[in-house]
C-alpha cells in the first residue's frame, strides 16, 4: 500500500541528503559521517521513515532481484520496504524515492544512485571531476543509462497546506542563474516547487506558467508596499506570506455564526467607543473615537493634552501662561535648576573677591 509522508518529513530528509554533499567516499562506511553508494541509498530510505540512518542495511546485492516484479529487498535492507520494478517503466512516476542499480557481483563492481523527491544523490569514485558524496550537480539520476535494475519506495508526498512556504530552509524562488538554493521553475525542480510558483501566480492574478521570471515584476511591485522587503522579486518566507494574503476572504460557514467585521472584533476586544479630547484649543469638546484606534489617534491626542496643554494657569502673579500639570512640573524643575546654577555662580564670584553688583539698565545706558 502506498504511504504518504508530509512535506515537513520530506524536507527534513532533503536537508539530510544535502548535509552529506562533498563528504569523501568511504567504502563500507555507515554514515559517520558518510559511506559508500549503498549506504547513502539505504540511509535516505531509512531517514524519511524515521529509522536509524547512520548504520548499514546491507549492500547493493540486497536489492538484486532482476526480472521479479514487486519483490522486496533481502537481509538487513528488508525493513526499508523497497519494492522491485521489472524495468524503468514499472517505477511509479510519483514515487518519492527511486533507485537505479548496477549489479557486477558486489563491492566496487556494483553501484547505486537515487532520486529523492526530484533530488539526485550519489556516493561514488571519480566521475565528471568529482568523487565522494554528490548531491544534485553531476549526481546520477535513478534512471541513468548506467543502471539496469530499478527499485523504489512505495510512498508519495502529501498535499499539505498550499499557503505554507514550500521550500527548505534557506531556499527561495529566484532566477535560473542564481545559486543552488534559487528555484526558478526552469531547472527541472521537483513538481511541488514548481506548483509553489503557480500558486503564487494565481494569487497575483497572472498566468500560471510555473516560471519565476514571469512573476518577478508583479512580485517586486507588491514588495514595494512593504518597506521591510527588498523589491527584487525573489521570494522567501516573508514575501511568500505577503503574497498569500492577497485575495484572502473569510471561509463560508453555512449555518454557523456570521463572520465579524474588524470594527465588531475591536468592540468585543476593547469595549465601546469612549470620549477622547482633540489636539487643539477648539477641540476640547469630547468626540467619539474607537478605543481600538488608541495609538493612531486617540492615544496621541491624550498624550499631547497631558504633556503640552490642559488649561492650568501659572501660580506666579503676572504669568499668564497655561499648560498641563506635566508642563508645570517640568517648569518647576527648570526654575530650580536655574536657581541652583545662579547660586553656584554667585558663590564662585564672592569666593574670588568679586563683590561688584550687577549694573542696572540705567547704568548700562
Give the three-state DSSP class for 3.
strand
Alpha-carbon span 163 to 148, nearest angstrom: 40
Last residue of a domain, one of 282, 307, 332: 307
Grid cell of 253 as nine digits = 460557514
Q: Read off the pTM.
A: 0.50
Percent share of the chain, pLDDT over 90: 52
Same domain, yes or no: 177 and 111: no
Mean pLDDT for 235-247 is 92
pLDDT category of residue 138 using cuts at 50, 70 and 90: very high
- Flag the least confident range among 64-78, 144-158, 229-243, 271-285: 271-285
Domain count, the chain: 3
Res. 129: pLDDT tops 50: yes
- In this prediction, residue 36 carries a pLDDT of 96
Cβ contacts of residue 217 below 8 Å, gap of 6+?
233
Helix ranges (DSSP H) in the chain: 7-19, 37-48, 191-203, 216-223, 237-244, 262-270, 299-307, 325-351, 361-364
Alpha-carbon gap, residue 32 to 351, rounded angstroms = 83
Residue 114 shares a structural domain with residue 212: no
Q: For 279-328, what is each residue's pLDDT tens digit? A: 444 444 444 444 444 444 555 555 555 555 556 667 677 777 777 767 77
* Better-scored residue on pLDDT, 302 or 169: 169
Task: Show the cell assigned to 28.
Answer: 563500507
Same domain, 179 and 219: yes
Same structural domain for residues 177 and 81? no
CATH of the domain at 32: 3.90.1720
Structural domain boundaries, residue 53: 3-157
What is the grid cell recorded at 257? 455564526
Is residue 123 domain-shared with residue 21, that is, in the same domain?
A: yes
* 51 in a structural domain: yes
Would residue 97 count as lying in a domain?
yes
Asked if residue 151 belongs to a domain, the reply is: yes
Residue 317 lies in a domain: no
Same-domain status, 11 and 89: yes
| Tens digit of each residue's pLDDT (9 = 90 or more) over 325-363 | 677 777 777 888 788 888 888 777 777 776 655 554 444
pLDDT of 276 over the 80 cut: no
Q: Is residue 257 part of a domain?
A: no
C-alpha cell at 187: 531547472
Please check whether residues 28 and 128 belong to one and the same domain.
yes
CA 207 to chain centre: 25
**Residue 253 domain flag:** no
Residues 214 and 190 grouped into a single domain = yes
Both 70 and 137 in one domain: the answer is yes
Same domain, 109 and 135: yes
Question: Could you tell me if 275 and 188 lie in one domain?
Answer: no
Distance, in Å, from the CA atom of 280 to the CA atom of 190, rounded to the nearest integer, reads: 62
Residue 83 domain-assigned (yes or no): yes
Residue 363: inside a domain: no
The pLDDT mean for the chain works out to 81
Do 53 and 106 belong together in one domain?
Answer: yes
**Per residue in 3-53, pLDDT tens?**
888 888 898 899 999 999 999 999 999 999 999 999 999 999 999 998 999
Amino acid at each position: 500500500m502506498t504511504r504518504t509522508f508530509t512535506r515537513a518529513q520530506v524536507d527534513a530528509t532533503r536537508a539530510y541528503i544535502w548535509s552529506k554533499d562533498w563528504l569523501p567516499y568511504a567504502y563500507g562506511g555507515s554514515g559517520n559521517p558518510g559511506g559508500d553508494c549503498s549506504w547513502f541509498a539505504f540511509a535516505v530510505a531509512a531517514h524519511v521513515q524515521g529509522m536509524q540512518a547512520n548504520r548499514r542495511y546491507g549492500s547493493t546485492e540486497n536489492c538484486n532481484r532482476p526480472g521479479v516484479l514487486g519483490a522486496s529487498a533481502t537481509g538487513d535492507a528488508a525493513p526499508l520496504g523497497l519494492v522491485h520494478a521489472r524495468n524503468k517503466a514499472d517505477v511509479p512516476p510519483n514515487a518519492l524515492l527511486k533507485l537505479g542499480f548496477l549489479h557486477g557481483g558486489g563491492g566496487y563492481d556494483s553501484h547505486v544512485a537515487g532520486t529523492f523527491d526530484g533530488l539526485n544523490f550519489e556516493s561514488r569514485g571519480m566521475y565528471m571531476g568529482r568523487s565522494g558524496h554528490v548531491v544534485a550537480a553531476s549526481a546520477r539520476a535513478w534512471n541513468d543509462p548506467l543502471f539496469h535494475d530499478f527499485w523504489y519506495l512505495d510512498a508519495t508526498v502529501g498535499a499539505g497546506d498550499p499557503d505554507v512556504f514550500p521550500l527548505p530552509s534557506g531556499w527561495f524562488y529566484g532566477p535560473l542563474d542564481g545559486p543552488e538554493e534559487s528555484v526558478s521553475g526552469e531547472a527541472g525542480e521537483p513538481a511541488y516547487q514548481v506548483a509553489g510558483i503557480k500558486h503564487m501566480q494565481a494569487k497575483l492574478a497572472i498566468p500560471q506558467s510555473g516560471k519565476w521570471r514571469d512573476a518577478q515584476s508583479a512580485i517586486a511591485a507588491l514588495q514595494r508596499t512593504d518597506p521591510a522587503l527588498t523589491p527584487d522579486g525573489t521570494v522567501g518566507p516573508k514575501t511568500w506570506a505577503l503574497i498569500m494574503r492577497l485575495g484572502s476572504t473569510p471561509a463560508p460557514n453555512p449555518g454557523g455564526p456570521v463572520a465579524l467585521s474588524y470594527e465588531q472584533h475591536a468592540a468585543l476586544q476593547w469595549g465601546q467607543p469612549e470620549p477622547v479630547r482633540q489636539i487643539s484649543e477648539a477641540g476640547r469638546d469630547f468626540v467619539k473615537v474607537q478605543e481600538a484606534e488608541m495609538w493612531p489617534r486617540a492615544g496621541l491626542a491624550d498624550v499631547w493634552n497631558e504633556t503640552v496643554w490642559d488649561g492650568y494657569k501659572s501660580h506666579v502673579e503676572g504669568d499668564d501662561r497655561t499648560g498641563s500639570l506635566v508642563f508645570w512640573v517640568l517648569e518647576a524643575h527648570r526654575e530650580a535648576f536655574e536657581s541652583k546654577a545662579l547660586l553656584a555662580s554667585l558663590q564662585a564670584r564672592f569666593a574670588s573677591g568679586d563683590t561688584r553688583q550687577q549694573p542696572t539698565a540705567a547704568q548700562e545706558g
